[in-house]
Chains A and B, each alone.
Chain A
Amino acid sequence: MGSPEPLIFSLQHFCVHDGPGIRSLVFFKGCPLRCVWCQNVESWKAEAEIGFKAHLCIACGRCVERCPERAIASPGRRDANRCRLCFTCVEACPSGAMTRVGVRRTPEEIVAELRPEFPLLRDSGGGVTFTGGEPALFPEFATDVARLLRSEGIPVALETGGLFNPERLNPLTAELQLILFDIKVFDGEQHRLLCGSENMVIKENLRSLVQATRLGQGPPVWPRLPLVPGMTDGPANIRSWAGLLRDVGTPFVTVVPYHHMGTVKRAWLGLPAGPDLRVPGDGEMAAAAGLFASEGIRAYHPGEEDFPAEATTGRASASG
């Protein structure tokens, strides 16, 4: 997985939970993980997809009429085997019910679209965050975009799930001001079950990124734990991660409460419904923070972190 040129499935602005200041987010399509609680399931496949938002559909039948492959029997019923992803149906659809997920864009195009936000990003001490999906699957492309942004004085952060080839990441880290590193399930077997892969590489990558920071060869690394009731909020899981964070040398973590704003996206993509999960209450958030604290790890709410100064001030290019 990981073609050199990724698809982008969204740009979002005025975000305040994904790094310091006000940020614009670039969503890369393609992810090696399959976390059962994922709220961005459209990021999983690296290839473009067609989504169907039933609530917007007015059943006009344009998609059925226009499909050259006759792959659509009736609105919303598309035969994926026949579909060649020509997106004729998406163009024909008047309401936006048929939607294309993932567009190829050049780094210049991405930066041009972000540019109107630059004054706000600069003034607020914010920047751009690459997220997804897993942007680290596309280190060359991400590096190109980051270089363009930095040449205009915009700091760049990477949000990663940690499963990537560390050897390919190097030119990118030199362009980054911050890495937000998602940690999820500590136990390897459980991780395989809940997130679809082993987590040895993830732990190794965390360790080596922090090591690089310490050597002045990489940006600060900031761990983040999505708090998913019944999945990541167990005391054992939190204690184990706390131990590793202590050991690695990042005695802080952002606890991100699970939300289900993206649950509906599964239906858009024709995926089976995910597990029925709760949003953690304030009490559960406080309990998790308390548990981390008892292990010597300072826990933060998203958007309230004390990021190191170099994460906000457009750090000079690292020695690498």
Chain B
Amino acid sequence: MATPLQTAPDRTTAPGFIAATPRIAGIRAELLATPYSICLERPRLLAAFRRSPEGRRAARTEHPLVRRALALSHVFSHRRPRIYDNELIIGNMTSKRIAANYYIEGGSINILEDLFRLNRRAVPLKMGRTEIAELLTTGVGNLFRSVGARALLRPGRFSYFLDFFRAKRHFVTEEAGIGHQVGNYRMVVHQGLRSVYDEAAKRLEEGRLGDGSALDADQRAFFRSVMITIEGIRQMAENLAIEAEGLAGRPDLPEWRMVELLESAAACRHVPYQPARTYLEGLQAVWLVHVALNLEDFEQGLSFGRMDQILLDLYRADIASGRLSVERAMEVTAGFCLKTCETMPLYSERVDQFFSGNGVAQAFTLGGTDGRGSDVTNELSGVILNAYAQVLTREPAVHVRVHRATPDWFFEKSVELLQMGTSRPSFFGDEAVVRALEHAGMSTEHARDYAVIGCVEMASQGRTYNSSDAALFNLPLCLELALNQGRRFRGRARIEGSRRCGADTPPASAMTSFDDVLEAFRAQVRHGVDDMVKVITWLEEVYRWHRTTPVNSILTEGCLQKGRDVTWGGGLYDYTSVQAAGLADAGDSLHALKRVVFDEKRLSLEELVGILKDNYRGHEDLRVELAAKLGRYGNGDQEADRMTQLAADAFADAVRAHRNTRGGQYVPGFYSMTCHVGFGKVTGALPDGRLAGKRLSNGLAPVDGADKLGPTAVLRSAASLESRKWMNCHALNMKFDRKTVQGPTGRRALVHLFRNYFSQGGMQVQVNVLDAETLRAAKRDPASHPGIVVRVAGYCAYFNDLQPDVQDEIIDRTAHGLS
């Protein structure tokens, strides 16, 4: 219903940006006032399908690929369409205004840990009594349908299953879902899903692939799954069209709204099956496919890619014909941005320690170059930036590609958005990113068409199956294990006894040189990575039979050519991307250990290990000296930076030695979500003066407080690291005091700072602009400080959604630039 529209709050107006319309401000206010919840429609529909005659028949007779497509198609076509007041882009993400989908195939079951306090959590989930009961039966009833259970509740694998509850060496997120994709939205917008549908039909009719080879049974099943899935998406769009027409017919509706609803109905009858004809239809097509993708696997990191490139022709044609004004284009785009706020991930408070902030990072990538390396930043890049400036919400994510020819106006505009305090956009250096993608096997042209998946992960858009963020790895723990023959310093005896959890490396007394220590460290990293890969391998098997992803396959080049689902290796480029936490702690620890034990010979390695096992008890002076007086990564100190490189290489080389079961390369990255907090709790004392249990360093950032020379030195250290092997990128998080970067002076300073960083070969940087006082106040009194967005790791979150210790970290981090 048309509600009286409110005026935009102050935060949505900024100099240099066109302010939000009352419509956008109104929807935004409504979303900010809506409590989070859990949507059970998807499991309900899946259960209904299983019980239906059709579902029972499919279970008996159909290929798993087809069975899965039928089930998903049932969800798409039977979910109830919901259109909210004044929306220009329609299509509900869940059955509620803001809710997490419950994925029975994945890790959603972790929420049962909070079952009896859902409404009282730090971030409450509003659920009625009967809903909570349904949540319990849904969770328990589907316990053995999850990928994790199918893969690991087996003889000899049970301890790996328990690792989900006691993550120490690694956290395999692929159990929850794969998600993480930048689909081929260029095809969706310009050819429509029809192009894929027709191609699949043709392959089935001919019984052959495009290259002439005959289809096997699996390939036939794949093409059928594609057609069934597209039919489901079409029906979902049709249902929305009918709903829109129904609403348009209501007598109390003003004329203008009726026109809008009919326009939406017409759009949903046309896209995403047919090619979009207008800018609005382009966005509507992308949104509908995005919803389908969300309903398929899980919600993490599903990204839109380079919308300023894909939609540019439609935008220009609409502007030229007078059908669209710049202001209206911004309004439609801002409305699209607000739609992304309808979803959130489902984490129990325990899991939230590792992935705090309720972010899923639905990302736009703006700017950059074409396949020949020429700049393609355009007016739509600016329109999309402005649209996000009108909403400043926790979703979507906005990423900006930077290269030598990035125009100043766009860079300055991007930093101006950054100054507004939502930590967006983050910046990516084309030179380093393209180099890493080429190193991972992409053609130069495809590498240059990269877009960011979710937080920082990278793909050639529409051509890559990254399974990124498959697992997080605790790098500093490997040093602990290396110093103690593969055992943790203080394993919890009750659970693991003195069980060795790492490789059998020599005792400290037998390591007589730094190289011995380094070799033991590398051995532990290899051993840990091997173990992590083993778990992922088991999961991949299960995916192929129980959790295939036809929507994702439709959106990934290569699948139609090969007749294979992405989980079967259909993607043109295939990787498994994993990332390490605690890089700087590992590097600084190697550095400190080398200095005091082997260079200065102040104590023996055994003595140092004894002190670490004792968590520096009685040696506080040594501890603070190691932390405060030795050179550390983040200060442009070449020796310290070299040790960080050694630690990074140990991980990168161990990871790159593996291939996944689809034939794709494993690739490494360095970002930690908030796993550096969770991993820190189980990691013993480190030679860099870090006490047992304290959080580890975050992504590529220096250890908290270790950087003494300010942001230029931090960036210099970061850029000095060789990043060619890091196809899974890194997150370098900097926090600036608001005062430091305010106004035109601050804006210009940041532009110069980042240009300089990228000219040194920097890969990625992201910034929190805030003052500690504001955050302390927000921590004390969350209710009076809604909507503060901070960047936690690669993604953004509302400050109030964070765990208290993560809030403390944000407050504590050095405020750069203050003298």
Contacts and interface: CB of A to CB of B under 8 A. Distances in A.
Interface of A: 12-17, 21-22, 25, 56, 58, 60, 62, 94-96, 116-117, 119-120, 123-124, 261, 301, 303-304
A217 to B, nearest CB: 30
16 contacts: A13-B713, A14-B753, A15-B819, A17-B745, A56-B624, A58-B620, A60-B621, A94-B621, A116-B712, A116-B716, A119-B756, A124-B749, A124-B752, A261-B818, A303-B745, A303-B746
B628 interface: yes
Contacts of A14: 710-712, 749, 753, 816-817
A62 B744 CA distance: 49
Nearest to A262: B819
Contact of A94 (B625, B710, B740): B625
Contacts of B759: 119
A123 B759 CA distance: 11
Contacts of A95: 621, 624-625, 628
A116 B759 CA distance: 13
Interface string B705-717: 0000111110010
B250 interface: no
A96 B629 contact: yes
Contacts of B628: 56, 94-96
B164 to A, nearest CB: 39
A313 B418 CA distance: 29
Given A95-B624, A301-B743, A304-B744, 7 more contacts: A15-B819, A56-B628, A58-B624, A94-B628, A116-B712, A117-B712, A123-B752
B622 interface: yes
Q: Which 7 A-B pairs have the closest CB atoms?
A: A94-B625, A303-B745, A124-B752, A60-B621, A95-B624, A120-B756, A94-B621
B748 interface: yes
B91 interface: no
B232 interface: no
A22 B624 contact: no
Contacts of A12: 710, 819
B421 interface: no
Nearest to A305: B745
Contacts of B712: 13-14, 116-117, 120
B819 A22 contact: no
Given A13-B713, A15-B819, A261-B818, A124 B748 contact: yes
Contact of B746 (A16, A62, A96, A123): A16
Contacts, number: 70
B636 interface: yes
Interface residues of B, number: 30
Contacts of B622: 94
B744 A22 contact: no
A94 B624 contact: yes
A261 B818 CA distance: 9
Contacts of A117: 712
B448 to A, nearest CB: 25
Given A12-B710, A13-B712, A120 B752 contact: yes
B296 to A, nearest CB: 46
A301 B622 CA distance: 46
Contacts of B816: 14
Contacts of B713: 13, 116
A18 to B, nearest CB: 10
Interface in B729-757: 740, 743-746, 748-749, 752-753, 755-756
A95 B744 CA distance: 39
Contacts of B756: 119-120, 123
A16 B749 contact: yes
B603 to A, nearest CB: 14
Contacts of B620: 58, 60
A58 B626 CA distance: 14
Contacts of B746: 16, 303
A22 B749 contact: yes
Contact of B743 (A58, A123, A304): A304
Contacts of A25: 819
Contact of A261 (B624, B752, B819): B819
A123 B620 CA distance: 45
Residue of B636, B713, B745 with highest tally of chain A CB at under 10 A: B745
Contacts of B709: 13
A94 B629 contact: yes
A252 B620 CA distance: 54
A58 B749 CA distance: 38
B625 A16 contact: no
Contacts of A60: 620-621
A10 to B, nearest CB: 9
A22 to B, nearest CB: 6
Contacts of A116: 636, 712-713, 716
A120 B709 CA distance: 15
Contacts of B744: 304
A15 B622 CA distance: 34
Interface in B231-258: none
Contacts of A120: 712, 752-753, 756
Contacts of A15: 819
Contacts of A58: 620-621, 624
A8 to B, nearest CB: 15
Nearest to B708: A96
Interface string B591-630: 0000000000000000000000000000011101100110
Given A116-B636, A116-B716, A123 B755 contact: yes
B801 to A, nearest CB: 31
Residue of A56, A62, A303, A304 with highest tally of chain B CB at under 10 A: A303
Nearest to A91: B629
Nearest to A61: B621
Contacts of B710: 12-14
A205 to B, nearest CB: 26
A248 to B, nearest CB: 26
Nearest to A120: B756
Contacts of A261: 818-819
Residue of A116, A261, A304 with highest tally of chain B CB at under 10 A: A116
Contacts of B743: 301, 303-304
Contacts of A96: 628-629
A115 B756 CA distance: 14
Contacts of B629: 94, 96
B636 A22 contact: no
A304 to B, nearest CB: 6
A175 to B, nearest CB: 24
Nearest to A123: B752
Interface in B667-722: 709-713, 716
Contacts of A303: 743, 745-746
A124 B712 CA distance: 13
A76 to B, nearest CB: 15
A193 to B, nearest CB: 27
Contacts of B749: 14, 16, 22, 124
Contacts of B711: 14
Nearest to A23: B749
A56 to B, nearest CB: 8
A14 B745 CA distance: 12
Interface string B8-37: 000000000000000000000000000000
Nearest to B749: A16
Residue of B710, B744, B755, B819 with highest tally of chain A CB at under 10 A: B819
